[in-house]
Amino acid sequence: MTIVSLLLLASLLPQLTFSAHVKVGIVNGIEAKPHSRPYMVSIQLDKTHICGGFFISDEFILTAAHCWNGSQTLTVVVGAHDLRLSKNSDRIGVKSYIQHPSYNRHFPWNDIMLLRLQEKVYLNNVKWISLPEKGEDVEANTHCSVAGWGRVDINGQMTNRLMEANVYITNNTECHQKWGNMFSPKQMMCTHGHGGSCIGDSGGPLVCENTAVGVTAFGYKSRCNDPEKPNVYIKISPYIQWINDIISNVREM
């Protein structure tokens, strides 16, 4: 039984667009008002955007675990709107990469990572976003939003300016029907809407009422925002204890 489901899972894996194999902007979105999402960061490899992320304290970024392969040196661009312009923004190194201990890059579970920055950030246009309470759930059909610098089309280019789109939380039964065993209702949530995430948006937040409730994780390989393969996010509320333990450990050091 276990073997069958693992094999099935393995054969499904190439469909994971936002995951490491094919890095996963926003399709059918609009340009965000500059600096209206001061928690957003661009995670970069060799000065190229690869993932989104967001500030949850003055020195910690939350993102997806698949945004780091275990040995790369990533940098984080903070306070940016247009990635071509360095005015208002800053590039900061990463002091520690803390992938969830149960994350395995061959699987979609626990795809969540904290980055501790090399320095605290005191820019005017940088601010952290609040997280949900431990165990809190968001009701289906709640109106939320996503943002990122990813592709505006599956075959298109990344965008230089931050884009955003409105989305609605899809009920777990439906997500599970559409994604099968890759979707874990305890750890994940999915959304529908006219616009949504695409390649390069991984790691960015799913925001409901000014709270980051999810981390953009994966979607359909062949088409962004496909109604039959809705975008999936790691639900943050089950990870609050893990996050708080790491952040408070640092405070005591």
Ligand X SMILES: *[C@@H]1O[C@H](CO)[C@@H](O)[C@H](O)[C@H]1NC(C)=O
Q: Using CA atoms, how far apart are residues 147 and 207, in angstroms rounded to an integer?
A: 9
Instruction: Write down the catalytic residue from 19, 57, 89, 202.
Output: 202
Task: Specify the residue, 88 or 171, whose C-beta has the smaller distance to ligand X.
Answer: 171
Sorted by sequence, the CB contacts under 8 Å of residue 126 that are 6+ apart come out as: 38, 39, 55, 78, 79
42, 66, 184, 197: which is the annotated catalytic residue? 66
Please give the structure tokens belonging to residue 49.
């955007």
Distances in Å between the Cα of 236 and the Cα atoms of 27, 131, 133, 207 are: 23, 8, 9, 11
Helix (H) or strand (E) holding 7: helix 2-12
Q: Considering beta carbons, is residue 22 or 240 the nearer one to ligand X?
A: 22
Cβ 115 to ligand X shortest distance, Å? 16
Q: Is residue 46 annotated as part of the catalytic site, yes or no?
A: no
The residue from 49, 81, 111, 145 that is catalytic is 111
User: Taking the complex as a whole, how short is the minimal distance between the CB of residue 141 and ligand X, in angstroms?
Assistant: 8
Catalytic residue at 201?
A: no
Report which of 208, 197, 221, 79 is spatially closest to residue 149, judged by C-alpha positions. 197
CB nearer ligand X, residue 89 or residue 202: 202
Distance CA 238, CA 215 (A): 12
Helix (H, G, I), strand (E, B) or coil at 241: helix
| Nearest distance in Å: CB 173, ligand X | 4
> How many other C-beta atoms are found inside a 10 Å radius of the C-beta of residue 93?
12
Say if residue 201 is exposed, middle or buried (CB neighbours under 10 Å; 0-12, 13-18, 19+).
Answer: buried
The CB-of-68 to ligand X minimum distance in angstroms stands at 9
User: Contact positions toward ligand X, by CB under 6 A?
Assistant: 69-72, 140, 171, 173-174
Closer to ligand X by Cβ: residue 48 or 96: 48
d(CA 233, CA 52): 13
Query: To the nearest whole angstrom, how small is the minimum distance from the Cβ of residue 174 to ligand X?
Result: 4
Please say which residue, 23 or 81, places its beta carbon nearer to ligand X.
23
143 annotated active-site:
no
Catalytic residues: 66, 111, 202
